[in-house]
Amino acid sequence: MSLLRSAMTVSGYTMASRVLGYVRDALSAGMLGTGLVAGAFVVAVRLPNMFRSLFAEGAFNAAFVPLFAKRLEGEGEAGARRFGEEVMSVLLTALTAFVILAEIAMPLVMLVIAPGFAENDEQFDLAVTLSRIGFPYLMFMSLVAFFSGVLNSLGKFSFPAAAPIILNVMQIITLAGAAFLGWGAEPRTAELLMFAIMISGLMQLVMLLVVCERAGMKLRPRLPRLTPGVRRLVRLGVPGTISAGITQINLVIGTMIASLIPHGPAWLYYADRIYQLPLGLIGVAMGIVLLPDLSRRLRAGDHTGMRYTQNRAVELSMLLTLPATVALVAMPVPIVHMLFEYGNFTPHDTIEVSEALALFGLGLPAYVLIKVFTPTFFANEDTKTPMLCAGASVAVNVVGSLAMFSFIGHLGIALATSLAAWTNTLLLLVILLRRGQYQADPRLKARLWRIMLASLVMGAGILAVLIWPLASVFAAGRPFLLQLACFVALVLGGALLFFAAGQATGAFRLSELKAMLRRKPATAPTAPSDQTI
């Protein structure tokens, strides 16, 4: 299956999950608002979100997939199964001990991740309670990531990509039930939501267990032992987890600092939820699909094919990401207003969240490129270098957030997060270039600036319409149907403008997009050309 077809399989399920996630977040924003309960809830879910990113969205797989795939090719299913059972047994033991320790030490953990809550006993205690309810989710999701890695190695992407849908459906049902009971921004609503998160993790785990068994990879726990294969996975997995999960690590740091001001964690959380949509659809999906493909080409010595795949991945990801970035920067207020401004979510919240969203959006291309560049390191079983690059970006994030927080509050955190992403991306790119592991081909060089130009033309058109004639449409009190019609027209008009500008500048060709959906030969062209993936 072609890179685009595989990525579209993951992106399709991710799109369904993110659309349901929007419904969930809209209901949550309207019910909880951005006050005390909302602050405690978003801090409590930040830990599950971070671990989901670290494990479920490619970080664990970055170390596990190449090793498991190598066993599968070299030793057959029996060898791969034995290695999988060894890893699963050690992982289950370590996770159980970690969850028990975290449950006991949760007040200390909360002092670290939300120091500002220490000044409000009610909010601090609620955040501790919510975190304790939801923390087992981390164990379930880590095991989900393990079985997802097994399935991805077998070339099965659908069920791992569809699993997060369960989380969103469970939370939507819970929020609908709470609304039916007349609950609002109160602790019991947040507690019920955390129980739904935990149960959804267990349901995802059960689903993937069944799928693995039906795929012929029936894994059973063994006595946990640090075998040579497990030790190698740990050596590769720890730095890989840190580097691949840098987005969530930076967001946790931002939450820590934002907890020092009222509403800060909630404002950043809702802005993050919006810009995670294109990041998940493009960056995460591309990273998941790229790693197995690059690993196979590397083992086969197909370096020409690797370069071709890398360049098409950059081209395709920028074709999708740059217009999304411009849209987030050009029209954040209409986006936030239409998505979240209901119930307890106020017009003031819309302004604060939209400003943060625009600044987060500046870093979107960088975060997507990180997902595209890191699989090359992981395919070469080098997880240390991305970890060091990620560490440098964390330093930029911390220094930048602290420096700007005093002047522009939570907006300084959003801007520092984007600067950290670009730092990470540029470091990865420079190292790949110096090692000769990446080289932009003529097609990418010719297309990239055209994609940027088409995106800017789209952005200029959106701004012109927002300044006039839609300057006052997206405000409280205006008819909802009018706002919805204008918003849909704005989105569709922007898309058509980008498509027209892209065709005019040669940023892409319609025939190529159609061809990308077809299967292609197992090997790439021997030289860069206009052939598609």
Residue 34 in tokens: 């951005």
Question: Does 469 sit behind a cis peptide bond, omega within 30 degrees of 0 on the bond before it?
Answer: yes
The residue out of 407, 440, 473 marking a domain boundary is 440
Q: How many independent structural domains does the chain possess? A: 2
Closest C-alpha among 234, 237, 228 to residue 387: 237
Q: Identify whether residues 405 and 510 lie together within a single domain.
A: no
Q: Identify whether residues 232 and 341 lie together within a single domain.
A: yes
Residue 226 in tokens: 């640090």
Residue 158: is its pLDDT beyond 90?
A: no
Residue 9 pLDDT grade (very low, low, confident, very high; cuts 50, 70, 90): low
- Which residues contact residue 278 at a Cβ distance below 8 angstroms, ignoring those fewer than 6 apart? 320, 321, 324, 325, 328, 364, 368
**What pLDDT is stored for residue 178 in this prediction?**
92
Within a domain: 533: no
Within a domain: 527: no
**What pLDDT is stored for residue 455 in this prediction?**
96
Residue 134 in tokens: 């939801």
Q: Identify whether residues 24 and 171 lie together within a single domain.
A: yes
Within a domain: 189: yes
For tokens 């240390």, name the residue: 384
Residue 13: is its pLDDT beyond 90?
A: no
Residue 313: is its pLDDT beyond 70?
A: yes
Integer angstrom CA distances of residue 383 from 61, 244, 257: 12, 9, 29
Q: Identify whether residues 371 and 329 lie together within a single domain.
A: yes
Residue 138: is its pLDDT beyond 50?
A: yes
Concatenated DSSP letters of 388-432: HHHHHHHHHHHHHHHHHHHHHTHHHHHHHHHHHHHHHHHHHHHHH
Within a domain: 408: yes
Q: Which domain holds residue 320?
A: 3-440
The DSSP output letter for 351 is H
Residues in the chain: 533
**What pLDDT is stored for residue 62 in this prediction?**
65
Residue 445: is its pLDDT beyond 90?
A: yes
Q: Identify whether residues 456 and 369 lie together within a single domain.
A: no
Q: Identify whether residues 356 and 484 lie together within a single domain.
A: no
Residue 517 in tokens: 């959906």
Residue 451: is its pLDDT beyond 80?
A: yes
The residue out of 400, 417, 440 marking a domain boundary is 440
Q: What is the pLDDT averaged over residues 504-516?
A: 76
Within a domain: 332: yes
Of 19-23, 68-72, 475-479, 514-518, the one with minimum mean pLDDT is: 514-518
Q: What is the pLDDT averaged over residues 199-217?
A: 91
Closest C-alpha among 216, 207, 235 to residue 387: 235
Closest C-alpha among 316, 368, 327 to residue 507: 316
Closest C-alpha among 389, 461, 476 to residue 432: 389
Q: Identify whether residues 468 and 429 lie together within a single domain.
A: no
**What pLDDT is stored for residue 1 in this prediction?**
44
**What pLDDT is stored for residue 521 in this prediction?**
37
pTM for the model: 0.77
User: pLDDT higher for 220 or 57?
Assistant: 220
- 488 — phi, psi (to 5°)? -60, -40
Alpha helices in 33-120 (DSSP H): 36-51, 59-104, 106-113
Q: Identify whether residues 409 and 493 lie together within a single domain.
A: no
**What pLDDT is stored for residue 48 in this prediction?**
67
Q: Identify whether residues 424 and 455 lie together within a single domain.
A: no
Contact between 501 and 507 under an 8 Å Cβ cutoff? The reply is yes
Q: What is the pLDDT averaged over residues 182-206?
A: 93
Residue 526 pLDDT grade (very low, low, confident, very high; cuts 50, 70, 90): very low
Helix (H, G, I), strand (E, B) or coil at 35: coil
**What pLDDT is stored for residue 133 in this prediction?**
94
Q: Identify whether residues 215 and 248 lie together within a single domain.
A: yes
Residue 528 pLDDT grade (very low, low, confident, very high; cuts 50, 70, 90): very low
**What pLDDT is stored for residue 61 in this prediction?**
63
How many CA within 13 A on the CB side of residue 354? 22
Q: Identify whether residues 339 and 427 lie together within a single domain.
A: yes
Contact between 253 and 394 under an 8 Å Cβ cutoff? The reply is yes
How many other CB atoms sit within 10 Å of the CB of residue 398?
17
The DSSP output letter for 119 is G
The residue out of 396, 419, 440 marking a domain boundary is 440
For tokens 């979510």, name the residue: 345
Q: Identify whether residues 130 and 226 lie together within a single domain.
A: yes
| Side chain identity, residue 152 | N
Burial of 120: CB neighbours in 10 Å, binned 0-12, 13-18, 19+: middle
Within a domain: 419: yes
Q: What is the pLDDT averaged over residues 220-248?
A: 77
Within a domain: 531: no
d(CA 200, CA 454) in angstroms, rounded, equals: 41
**What pLDDT is stored for residue 343 in this prediction?**
87
Within a domain: 360: yes
Helix (H, G, I), strand (E, B) or coil at 287: helix
For tokens 């047994």, name the residue: 89
